[in-house]
Amino acid sequence: MPYSYPRATFTGAFGDNATGTWHPAQATIDQGYVTLWVMSQAGWVQRFSLPATQVTVKSAAQRITLVAGGQSFPILADPSAVNRALGWNAANIVGGAVGSTALDVGSAVGRGVNQFSAAQSFSAGGGAEFLAAARASGSPVSRLGYGAIAAIGCGGGALVVFMVVVITLFTLGL
């Protein structure tokens, strides 16, 4: 019985660095090939189709980046989450500047809901299935999910707190 390659599709939006715009996109893996389709004014355009072993698949949070022929092709599950995150961060900064606890708490809740929404979009767009199919088809795959990102952020915050305590103790000890 011949080996059957897995099939999967990740649906999102391709970030065009030249124009700064997002276009609907689909990354498919089928019969051992990774293909990227991007919507243009003329319809769906195939950007590339290569054997899976020639495409590196990187994923962080709600993004999958395909690296083919030395060029990166980022695909976001929910590009509007980026603008929402910027808005919530601005609200947090304003809340801190004016001393508004309600604005601080509201922006923290908003950021959390936004992350959940982006993660849901990644799941609904077929992100996990695409990564598994790419790995099974021979693509080098790396994934940095929300848990790891949160751990890095918390670890960095804990390091800052530790350094402040050490510096304060050192200063007071002189």
Q: Is residue 84 part of a domain?
A: no
Does the pLDDT of residue 99 top 90, yes or no?
Answer: no
State yes or no: pLDDT of 1 exceeds 50.
Answer: no
The DSSP bridge pattern shows strands 43-51 and 55-60 to be unpaired
Q: Give 128-159 pLDDT, tens digit per residue.
A: 999 999 999 999 998 875 565 556 566 666 67
Domain assignment of residue 159, yes or no = yes
Q: What total number of domains does the chain contain?
A: 1
| pLDDT score of 14 | 93
Residue 169 host element (H or E): helix 146-173
In a domain, residue 110? The reply is: no
* pLDDT per residue as tens digits for the range 44-66: 999 999 999 999 999 988 899 99
| CATH number of the domain encompassing residue 52 | 2.30.29.30
Which letter, b or e, does each residue of 62-91 get, where b requires 16 or more Cβ atoms within 10 Å of its Cβ? bbbbbbbeeeebbbbbbbebbebeeebeeb
58 occurs within a structural domain: yes
Question: Within 10 Å of residue 53's Cβ, how many Cβ atoms?
Answer: 13
115-122: list long-range contacts, CB under 8 Å, 24+ apart.
115/61, 115/81, 115/146, 117/78, 117/81, 117/84, 118/61, 118/62, 118/77, 118/78, 118/81, 119/61, 119/62, 119/146, 121/12, 121/62, 121/77, 121/78, 121/81, 122/61, 122/62, 122/77, 122/78
Instruction: Tell me if 27 is assigned to some domain.
Output: yes
pTM equals: 0.74
Q: Please check whether residue 121 lies inside any domain of the structure.
A: no
Range of the domain at 133: 8-78+126-173
Residue 27's closest CA among 137, 125, 132? Answer: 125
Kindly provide the residue ranges of all beta strands, DSSP E only, lying in 21-78, ordered along the sequence.
21-30, 33-40, 43-51, 55-60, 63-68, 71-76
Two structure tokens written together for 101: 């606890």
Question: Can you tell me the distance from the alpha carbon of 120 to that of 116, in angstroms, rounded to the nearest whole number?
Answer: 6
- Amino acid making up residue 161: V
Instruction: Rank 25-29, 151-155, 158-162 by mean pLDDT and report only the highest.
Output: 25-29
Is residue 53 a part of any domain in this protein? yes
Residue 118 in domain: no
